[in-house]
Structure 1
Amino acid sequence: MRVLILREPDAAARTAAELTARGHEPLVLPLETVETLDAPPPDGAFAAFAVTSAHAVAPLARAFPNDGRPLFAVGEATASAARNAGFPDVRVAGGAADGIGALAAATLPHESTILYAAGRTRTATLESGLAEAGVGCAVWEVYAIHPVRPDATTVRRVIAGRAPDGVLVLSVGQATALARLCRALPDAFSPLPLVLVLSERIAAALPAELRRRARISSDRSLTSLFEWLG
C-alpha cells in the first residue's frame, strides 16, 4: 500500500523505513517541524521525570544525563527513546497521559513532585492527572511543534499522480493539516484514503468525512496501526 507520512522529517524517515520493511510504499510529506527550546530546567527537588512525547527525551537527557530517578513515559515508543537516551528506570503508563498520575502516586513517596518535560502546545491531561493523584508537577517546556504548509506542487509531486491508500495521523496538528490538504486539493485525495489514527482524541479533530475513514489504534502504537495495512 502507498502510505502518506505527515511527521517531522527525522521521525518520518524512521517510519518510512518501517513501512518499507513491511512491504509498503512510504510517501513522505512532513506537515510539522520540531523546535528545541533553550530554557533551562526549573530548580527543585524532583522525585521523578515525566514525558509524553519522544521529542522531550533528548533535552531531558542533556540536562540530566544518565539520571537514575524514575522516568514516567506515556507509551512504549516514548519509553524506548528514554531507555536509549540513558535513563535506567523507565516506567510506562500504558499509552495514556492521565495514567501517569495513578502510576506515580502508587510508586513514589508521598508529596513527591515530578518534572514534566513538555511541549509548548499541549493538553492539560497530565497536569490534571497528577493533581488528582496528589503528585506535584513542575512543567519545563523543551520543544515546540510548528506547522508546515507545502504548496500544491509539492503535494502532487509526493503523491505522484494518485491518492495514497492510507495516511498515518499521529497528532491533532496532523489531523488538522490533513483536513486542510483535502479541502484545498480534493482531486489529489480522491478517493479518500484510509486514515490511520493514533487515538480517539486525534480522530475527534478530523472532519466527518475523514472520521468515517478512520481506523484507531487499539493501544496507541504505530505497530497496531501498521496492522490495518495488511
Structure 2
Amino acid sequence: MRVVVTRPESSARRTDERLQNLGHQPVLLPLTKSIHHPDAAATALAGRHSALAVTSAEAVRVLSSLGDRLAPFLGQTLYAVGETTAKAAEDTGFRDIRRGPGTGAELAELIASDASDFDAPLLYLAGKPRSPQFEDGLNAEGVPFVATEVYGMMPIAYDEVFIRATLLDPPVDAVLLYSRENARLFCDFAAPHLKELASVQFLCLSDNVAENIPREFHRNIKIASHPDEDGVLALL
C-alpha cells in the first residue's frame, strides 16, 4: 500500500522505516514543522511546581535541548501521555516517569489520582496548537496546573501541483493521522483531490483525531484499538 505519513520530519523517519519493513511504500508529507522555545521551558522549570507533564515527544525534545540546564530536574516526577513520549523522556534522562495509557483525558485521570500529594501546581510543558482534552480533564478533576507553551507546530505551505502529484501519482491507499490538527491540515490540503481518492483509508490514532475527517469519508475511517503508533499501523 502507498501510505501517507503526515508526521513532522523529526518523527517521520522511524515511521518510514517501520512501513518499509511491513512491505508498504511510505509517502512522506510532513504537514507541520516544529518551532522550539527552550528559554520558555527553562523559565517555567525555574518556577515552583510539583511535577511535570508532557503530552508529546516534541516537548521532550525541547527539554533535551536545554542540556546542562535540565540536569537539576531529571529526578522530578514526569507524567507522559503514552509509551512513545515516555521513551523519549527516558532517553533524555528522566528517572521517575509515570506512563499514561495514551490520551490526554486518561493522563489527567492518572495525575488526579496522585494530586493529593502535590504541594504546588503541576507544570504542563505544552505545544501549540493542542487538543484541550488534557487541560479540560485536569480542570474537571480540580488539579492545579500551569501550562507553558514550549514549542509550536507551524503549517508547511505546499504547491497544489505538488500535493496532487503526491496523492494521485499513483493514488495513495491510506493516510496516517496522529493529531486533530494534522487531520484538519491534511483534509484542507487534499480537499480538491478527495473525490479522486474515494477509497483512501483514514487511519486515526483516536476518535478525537477522526472528528476532523469530512462526513462523506466517515465510512473510510479506522480507529486504533490503542492510541499509539503500534495501534495505528495495526490497521493496515
With the length of structure 1 as denominator, give the TM-score of the two structures.
0.90
Contact 1:34 1:145 in 2 (8 A): yes
Contact 1:152 1:185 in 2 (8 A): no
Alpha carbons of structure 1 residues 41 and 124: separation in structure 2 relative to 1, 3 Å: farther
CA distance in 2, matches of 1:104, 1:114: 9
**Residue 11 of structure 1, CA deviation:** 1.2
Corresponding residue to 1:213 among 214, 220, 223:
220
**Residue 159 of structure 1, CA deviation:** 4.0
Question: What's the counterpart of residue 168 of structure 1?
Answer: 176
Question: What's the counterpart of residue 138 of structure 1?
Answer: 146
Question: What's the counterpart of residue 86 of structure 1?
Answer: 93
Give the counterpart letter for 1:120 in structure 2.
K
Task: Calculate the aligned-residue CA RMSD, in Å.
Answer: 2.0
**Residue 169 of structure 1, CA deviation:** 1.1
**Residue 155 of structure 1, CA deviation:** 2.2
Q: Is 1:178 paired with 2:186?
A: yes
CA distance in 1, matches of 2:142, 2:183: 33
SS of structure 1 residue aligned to 2:27: strand
**Residue 213 of structure 1, CA deviation:** 0.6
Question: What's the counterpart of residue 14 of structure 2?
Answer: 14
Q: Give CA deviations for 1:114-163 in whole Å, capped at 9, x if unaligned.
A: 11100122233222322333332111110101112311332244346221
With the length of structure 2 as denominator, give the TM-score of the two structures.
0.88
Question: What's the counterpart of residue 43 of structure 2?
Answer: 41
Give the 5 Å matches for 1:50-89: 50-61=53-64, 62=66, 63-65=69-71, 67-89=74-96
Identity %: 32
CA distance in 1, matches of 2:89, 2:28: 26
**Residue 71 of structure 1, CA deviation:** 0.6
**Residue 197 of structure 1, CA deviation:** 0.5
Alpha carbons of structure 1 residues 224 and 102: separation in structure 2 relative to 1, 3 Å: closer
Aligned residues: 228
SS of structure 2 residue aligned to 1:139: strand
Contact 1:111 1:136 in 2 (8 A): no
Higher helix share: 2
CA distance in 2, matches of 1:190, 1:143: 33
Alpha carbons of structure 1 residues 70 and 59: separation in structure 2 relative to 1, 3 Å: same
Contact 2:55 2:80 in 1 (8 A): yes
